Chain A
Amino acid sequence: MNILTIALRNARKKWVRTCLLLLVFTLGVVSIVALSFVSRVVGEGLEKKLVSYGANILVSPKNEKLTVSYGGFAMGDMLFDVAYLDEKDTVAKIDSIALRKNVSVIAPKLVVMDRVKNTAVAIVGVRFEQEKLLKGYWMVEQGALPSKPGGALIGSAAAAKLGLKLGDTLPLGKEKLVVEGILAPTGNEDDNVLLADLSFVQKASGRAGQSNFVEVAALCSGCPIDDIVTQIGSALPNVEIKTLRNIVEQRMYSVQFVKKLILSVSLVILLTGCSMVGISMLSAVNERKKEIGILRSLGFSRRAVFSIFCAEAASIGLFAGLIGYAVGYAVSFRILAVLDMAEGAVLHFEPLDFVATALILALLTSLASLFPAWKAASIEPSEALVTL
């Protein structure tokens, strides 16, 4: 038994008020914790979805380029001294930047031209495992993604124009490609090209270990894209780096928007809860004036009376934090299930967060009760007890 007994026993005695406060505050904490968990999963999901829309950084060799147009007739770009990147070196250097954790996909590519059935066509060498991550929107309409080095995946328009079907063979230099899959229309350049394993294309075209460019997909909810570009630029000083800023900014905005929304809602809930604790404690001070008077007449200092009220409020915050975090964690699964996002979602119960939430809530409720506690400590015993 000590001074805390007084605070806790009073909270128990006034159990309806305590339960009501605990309920309101716990609901607030549940909302905050659940929203936080859900926003994290939604944010991660959003990032994954956004990444599936493609790359946002393009790494290519520095080329001398001339756009040719004469008499209103455009002849396209002319490249002089076409340069290539060393695939392994480029990928390794991008892979080693400090912000590597924000880079989700590194996809090198080599583009070669050849003729199939007397039609010029671009054959793009890719790493299919990286390409799948980069182009989550790909749907293989017929067959499957190539599993062998000599397998080819044909864009829908190219397959129609060239009359290609599964199992057809195509020449590529001295090698032959076998059609293993045909893509559903994507609405972009992939519809018009043939895609094959990068190593196979490099070997067949006599450009072993080389690539034309590397596409990089960055997750930038927690970092500015400029930092990633700067770090890649430092690692690869002689290359050209382009950012598809709009996409990146859109990604960052979407994730940040969700987080800001959660933060705003959380603040409103916390403020409401704190106001309720403050008002309730203030009315408790008026109700318990005689009790305060008797404590003061027994030699309790102002600081001791102040502590009793703060401890009572802190105990509500502490329990609300503990219960709220646990319930919020459980509720997150239900919310994710309702949002149809539970599959694959990983939520970790963090003991440190659990304790920190309880302590922060205890601190907040104590702060909310500062004025009532100060008012209680200001009460003179004569004011409360003496009838003159």
Chain B
Amino acid sequence: MSNTTPTTSAPILSAVNITKSFSQDGEPTQALKGVSFDVAPSEFVSIVGRSGSGKSTLLSVLSTLLRPDGGTLSYQGSDLAAASEAEIDTLRHGDFAVIFQFHYLLPYLTALENTLLPFMRGLRPVSGEQRRRALDCLERVGLAEKAHRLPGQLSGGEQQRVAIARALVKQARILFADEPTGSLDSTTGSSVMDLLGRLPGEGLSVVMVTHNDQYASLASRVVHMDDGLVV
């Protein structure tokens, strides 16, 4: 299953020659040294590499959380470097979804409310349809019965599944996952991976960064990174 070459279908997301530098202790550090990377529709890609290889930086650039210093990033043919902040916000709100190693749920909102968070951007109240969709997503991650519990009343795995439900409720096109099982035990991690593994079959592309070779092998393609480059 694992390979490092892109699928043959037209990419939904395309990164060409991406560079990104940071200043560390006053010294410039180049995290990405010209990475090119494509994601096809309904593709599950794993990015692996040792710590400091630049995989998390690449995921942040791909998910628009970080602006690259150079290179081209395009989504469905549109250049994201030229996109306005409002357009990026719209993309984050709609087509892109991100989950992190830590769930980052709002502690004062219930599981259902956290799932509904993407719809709480303005003064317009959440609609009944959006609420039904959020309950469906919670059901898909096996948490319908715990919809009204606060994050503090859920286990680590359940919290991560709520974060996945929050990503799913938007009906995004690409899910970016940064070490989604990093803070979970192996049993819980496996259940989260089962869930992520089913998503490409439902039309969602998944780009996952992981240290775990076993989880990485579940992807349709594995990309290896070392020293800021895809190898």
Contact = CB atoms under 8 A, between A and B. Distances in A.
B149 to A, nearest CB: 15
Contacts of A294: 104, 106
A295 B121 CA distance: 9
Contacts of B56: 386-388
B123 interface: yes
B65 A297 contact: yes
A304 interface: yes
Contacts of B122: 2-3, 304
Contacts of A2: 120, 122-126
Contacts of A10: 106, 108
A293 interface: yes
Contact of B92 (A9, A13, A297): A297
A275 to B, nearest CB: 26
B60 A382 contact: yes
Interface in B168-206: 170, 178
Interface residues of B, number: 38
Interface string B94-115: 1000101100101111000100
Contacts, number: 90
A1 B120 contact: yes
Which secondary structure dominates chain A's binding surface? helix
A381 B93 CA distance: 13
* Tier of interface size on chain A: 20 to 34
A386 B66 contact: yes
A49 B225 CA distance: 89
Nearest to A11: B108
A360 interface: no
B108 A298 contact: no
A299 B94 contact: yes
Contacts of A272: none
B126 A302 contact: no
Interface stretch (B3-11, B35-43, B82-90, B140-148): B82-90
A291 B104 CA distance: 7
A347 interface: no
Contacts of A381: 65
Contact of A301 (B22, B86, B106): B86
B159 interface: no
A4 interface: yes
Contacts of B12: none
B117 interface: yes
Interface string B25-42: 000000100000000000
A6 to B, nearest CB: 6
A302 B90 CA distance: 12
A131 B127 CA distance: 73
A4 B126 CA distance: 12
Interface of A: 1-6, 9-10, 12-13, 290-291, 293-302, 304, 380-382, 385-388
Interface of B: 22, 31, 56-57, 60, 63, 65-66, 85-86, 89-94, 98, 100-101, 104, 106-109, 113, 116-118, 120-126, 166, 170, 178
